[in-house]
Amino acid sequence: MSELTLIIGGNAGQGLESSGAGFCKALNRGGLHVFSVQDNRSRIRGGHNFYLIKTSTEPIVSWTEPVHLLIALTAETVDIHLGKIVPGGAVVYDPSLEIDEDRIKDREAIPIPLPLYDIAGEAGGSKMMANTAALGAVAGLTNFPIKHLLSVIEDNFRKKGDKVININKKVAESAHDHAASKFGDSFKFNMEQQNGAQRMVMNGNEAISLGALVAGCNFVSAYPMTPGSSIFEWLNKHADEYGIVSKQAEDEIAAVCMSVGAAHVGARALVPTSGGGFSLMVEALGLAGMLEEPIVIVLAQRPGPSTSLATRTEQADLLYAINASQGEFPRIVIAPGTIEECYECGGRALNLAEKYQTPVILMTDQFLATSNRTLDKNNIDLGAIKIDRGALLTDDDLDKIDGEYKRYKFTENGISPRALPGHQNAIFKTTSDEHNELGEIVEAADNRIRMNTKRMKKLETALADMNPPKTHGLEDADITFVCWGSTLAPLTEAMNRLNNETSNTANIIQFIDLFPMPVEKVMPVLKNRKRLITVEGNYTAQLGSLLQMTTGVKIEEHILKFDGRPFSPEYILEHLKKLEKRGRNG
Amino acid sequence: MVEVQDYYYPLKPTWCPGCGNFGIWNAFKSALANQNIEPHEVLVVSGIGCGSKLPDYTRVNSLMTLHGRSLAVATGAQLSNHDLKIILAHGDGDGYSMGGNHLIHACRRNIDVVDIYQNNKIYGLTKGQYSPTSDKGFVTKTTLAGSIEKSVNPIALALAAGATFVSRGFAGELEHLIWLIEEALKHRGYSMIDVFQPCVTFNKVNTYQFYNKRVYKLQEENEYDSSDLGAAFAKSQEWGDRIPIGIFYQKKGEPTYQEHLPVLENKSLVKHGLRDSVPEEIKNEFM
Q: What is the pLDDT of residues B225-278, one digit of tens each?
A: 999 999 999 999 999 999 999 999 999 999 999 999 999 999 999 999 998 899
Interface of B with A in 8-27 (CB under 8 A): 11
Q: What is the CATH number of the domain that holds A320?
A: 3.40.50.970
For residue A503, the model assigns a pLDDT of 92
Which among A214, A260, A261 has the least Cβ separation from residue B278? A214
| Residue A463 pLDDT greater than 90, yes or no | yes
User: By residue range, what is the domain housing residue B205?
Assistant: 4-286
| Residue A285 pLDDT greater than 80, yes or no | yes
Averaged pLDDT, B208-212: 98
Q: What is the CATH number of the domain that holds B228?
A: 3.40.50.970
Best probe of the B interface among A285, A398, A429, A442, by most B CBs < 10 A, is A429
CA–CA separation, A436 vs B262, rounded Å? Answer: 40
CA–CA separation, A536 vs A561, rounded Å? Answer: 7
Last residue of a domain, one of A324, A352, A379: A379
**Domain check: are A26 and A149 in the same one?**
yes
pLDDT band at A1 (very low <50, low <70, confident <90, very high): low
User: By residue range, what is the domain housing residue A109?
Assistant: 3-197
Structural domain total, chain A: 4
**Domain check: are A183 and A240 in the same one?**
no
| Residue A243 pLDDT greater than 80, yes or no | yes
For residue A364, the model assigns a pLDDT of 98
Q: Are A372 and A34 in contact (CB under 8 A)?
A: yes
A244·B263 Cβ contact <8 A: yes
Per-residue pLDDT tens digits for A258-278: 999 999 999 999 999 999 999
CA–CA separation, B58 vs B137, rounded Å? Answer: 37
Q: Is B59 on the interface with A (CB under 8 A)?
A: yes
**What does the H/E/C string look like for A252-286?**
HHHHHHHHHHHHHCCCCEEEEECHHHHHHHHHHHH
For residue B238, the model assigns a pLDDT of 97
For residue A585, the model assigns a pLDDT of 59
Last residue of a domain, one of A329, A347, A379: A379
CA–CA separation, B130 vs B207, rounded Å? Answer: 15
Dihedrals phi, psi of B125, to nearest 5 degrees: -65, -25
CA–CA separation, A94 vs A74, rounded Å? Answer: 8
**Domain check: are A257 and A111 in the same one?**
no
Which among A243, A261, A441 has the least Cβ separation from residue B275? A243
Determine the distance in angstroms separating the CA of B113 from the nearest CA of chain A, rounded to an integer.
Answer: 13
Nearest residue in A to B75, CA atom: A258
* Residue A70 forms part of a structural domain: yes
Nearest residue in A to B280, CA atom: A382
For residue A584, the model assigns a pLDDT of 61
Q: Over pLDDT 90: what percentage of chain A? A: 92
Q: Which residues of B touch A427 (CB under 8 A)?
A: 39-40, 59-61
Determine the distance in angstroms separating the CA of B56 from the nearest CA of chain A, rounded to an integer.
Answer: 6
| Residue A586 pLDDT greater than 60, yes or no | no
Rg of chain B taking only CA atoms, in angstroms: 20
**How many A×B Cβ pairs under 8 Å?**
187
Which among A243, A255, A429 has the least Cβ separation from residue B55? A429
Give chain B's mean pLDDT.
97
Three-state secondary-structure class, residue A236: helix
Q: Are B241 and B229 in contact (CB under 8 A)?
A: no
Q: Is B105 on the interface with A (CB under 8 A)?
A: yes
Q: How far apart are the first and last CA of chain B?
A: 59
| Residue A500 pLDDT greater than 60, yes or no | yes
Q: Which residues of A touch B104 (CB under 8 A)?
A: 250
**Domain check: are A68 and A92 in the same one?**
yes
For residue A42, the model assigns a pLDDT of 76
Closest of A24, A41, A108, A43 to residue A77, by C-alpha:
A41
Determine the distance in angstroms separating the CA of A334 from the nearest CA of chain B, rounded to an integer.
Answer: 24
Per-residue pLDDT tens digits for B72-97: 999 999 999 999 999 999 999 999 99
pLDDT band at B107 (very low <50, low <70, confident <90, very high): very high
Dihedrals phi, psi of B114, to nearest 5 degrees: -100, 125
Torsion region of B196: left, alpha or beta (phi above 0 gives left; psi -120 to 50 gives alpha): beta
Q: Over pLDDT 70: what percentage of chain B? A: 100
Query: With a cut of 0.90, is the ipTM above it?
Result: yes
Per-residue pLDDT tens digits for B112-133: 999 999 999 999 989 999 999 9
Closest of A448, A260, A222, A413 to residue B74, by C-alpha:
A260
Q: What is the CATH number of the domain that holds A578?
A: 3.40.50.920
What strand order describes the sheet that includes A360-365?
A245-248, A219-222, A269-273, A295-301, A360-365, A332-334, A513-515
Structural domain total, chain B: 1
Q: Which residues of A touch B39 (CB under 8 A)?
A: 427
B269·A245 Cβ contact <8 A: yes
A421·B81 Cβ contact <8 A: yes
* Residue A173 forms part of a structural domain: yes
**Domain check: are A29 and A163 in the same one?**
yes
* Residue A385 forms part of a structural domain: no
Best probe of the B interface among A208, A250, A281, A418, by most B CBs < 10 A, is A250
Averaged pLDDT, A126-152: 94
The neighbouring-strand residues paired with A373 are A35, A202
| Residue A534 pLDDT greater than 90, yes or no | yes
Nearest residue in A to B281, CA atom: A382
Q: Please enumerate in sequence order all residues whose Cβ is within 8 A of that of A441, keeping only pairs 6 or more positions apart, or say none.
A: A431, A433, A434, A435, B53, B56, B64
User: Which residue type is seen at A140?
Assistant: G
Last residue of a domain, one of A465, A495, A511: A465
What strand order describes the sheet that includes A373-376?
A110-113, A85-93, A67-72, A3-11, A48-56, A33-39, A373-376, A199-202
Q: Are B38 and B6 in contact (CB under 8 A)?
A: yes
Q: Which residues of B touch A29 (CB under 8 A)?
A: 287
Distances from the Cα of A375 to the Cα of A28, A60, A340, B148, B241, angstroms: 9, 10, 8, 63, 74
Per-residue pLDDT tens digits for A360-396: 999 999 999 999 999 999 999 999 999 999 999 999 9
Q: DSSP string of A383-409?
A: TT------SBPPHHHHHT--S---TT-
Closest of A282, A308, A325 to residue A299, by C-alpha:
A282
Which among B45, B69, B76 has the least Cβ separation from residue A262? B76
A254·B56 Cβ contact <8 A: no
Interface of B with A in 34-53 (CB under 8 A): 38-41, 43, 45, 48, 53
Q: Please enumerate in sequence order all residues whose Cβ is within 8 A of that of B143, keeping only pairs 6 or more positions apart, or say none.
A: B129, B130, B134
**Domain check: are A310 and A343 in the same one?**
yes
Q: Is B80 on the interface with A (CB under 8 A)?
A: yes
CA–CA separation, A489 vs A487, rounded Å? Answer: 6
**Domain check: are A13 and A41 in the same one?**
yes
